[in-house]
Structure 1
């Protein structure tokens, strides 16, 4: 029996098998049936921040982005989104969201609540007013973008929330007055009420046991968390396969899907290890180098293979496709400041679009009319009897039946 070729060296647990039985109009198996399988999309979220894209009239940067990623994170930092009370940047973000959805991109909003970049104008309000304004802000965004944005970081970086000292802000003040758990509850329950269909993520950069404690506290309090977000900025060097796998394994114990929400790997000088807050590292120039680009390409491949080998992970988001405007000015992009792709871009594309992709593979049914279809979970097209039939290979694979009348004899 001839079947689809299994994607080469695919991460363990990612290649699924759908046994599709082809029956004729009388319910009889169509043994020996020939067909061809072509992938349309991945279920796994190969994501990237998309703050700078132009999906309505794509420039070259946007085309490079769309050729690689299927999930976008959009910016909803409150201080920048609503610079003055009652003047949110809704229209611009709606155009961006609608444009990306038009290209089939799945969307995530980041974040609905965060102590960092909270509006400075909140500081003049008392705690009761701050709580009211938080509810209004979350309700407004979750409602305005319902049907477009399918998931949100409901609240960001809760481990440090009550003790944050980098700058005074009203959200930390509220957490100190009411308790961290009540602020987390405020974010989740308000977002859930505003858009019950949206998935809500608890996201943090602190991957120590302190974040595990926060998650346990939330679950014990009855909060409905849809996924756990794990930030993996690596400005101080690649953490290595063992450490990444250990982190994923540790957070898998909660039985919730995991998202690696903010991944960066540098193609230039590595930030010194003694820096505690990455924001404190400021240099005049931080260029990408030939040696660094080769290292980044190698680490990108190792990182993605390691992450996808862990079945609990449902998405991996790279934080900034290009060096232009990159966080902290670091050479962390997959595209240089001049717009040309680095080796890391080509490496990642070869994984997502070639090695882990099914492109027109011939399949042949056995004596029971069964086509064994192998591939990553996702959407596919089956070419059968000269027609294109859409189908889904789900996580976990499975068995399905497809009734198709036998073609009329030729001649």
Structure 2
């Protein structure tokens, strides 16, 4: 894949298109062997297209198809293919129709977007004015796509993938099974799973995105051993697996709906992060009866427990989560359920920024909720957090 543009090359914008395409193509059986970025330099881009066309079977070029002077991809493609540019009357008509639907006249500058290398086949863009196109250069099929993410993704899914599947029908798609963990490190997970015998054709991947580690199991479609292998991974990682096939918040959402339970929240240290996270899921947001921010509302963990129980009675919520303030790097979190309350005080073993530490503590509170809803011990083990104290008036937690 070749990404284009000075803004991408110099880091002014993050190349999310490349990451998205890499993931999608791997799952579809078209694993990328190389990714590169080239600025808005005509000769340099033409040389890179030519180089990739001599070493790969498929090349995807992203960006540089707009109407401005720094959009040079079509011209570079023509140079790499040693051909000229020609005006596509078909695409001119398509652009004029798009502008007409908006009640506007098409600017003449947009004619540049219809200047394509001779012999190129158009890839439709139903969203914008930059058509894609495909052509053979040397040994490669080269596909040119717009840089705007919404346009790029639609074109890849509706045009590029069907084109490649028709061209290479024997390519086998990959199935990706995901699970999400909280409280484990990437190296710790790798060590735990090091004794596993990985079935032929199966690949384990990891993705760290604070506060979770996502474990991905890739396998060819109809791989006979992958389901059992996936279940073994879940068993080995234990109750630190907070989401199977979906993120933790989606798991919690399903459990709250299944049990028809409501939640209320009071938070100090997390500063609204816990309520904001619950609002990311429509069902969780609808089951959130109350969310408050307060300061210095509990001096001790017993005060926190009493407040959680009182707030549960006040709001008539099924479960209450309370996050206290940070005192000497320690934060206490309480959960009050029907006839029981749990409180634990933790401190970070790592040097987190304020924002990251808030995220971790908010996730700890949500994990306590998940465990409670699943009938598991509410207190878990987390590699990055020290448990300073904990108590409960419910026997099942020990």
Q: Same fold (TM over 0.5)?
A: no
TM-score by length of 2: 0.24
Give the number of the structure whose residues are more often helix, by fraction: 2
Larger radius of gyration: 2
TM-score by length of 1: 0.23
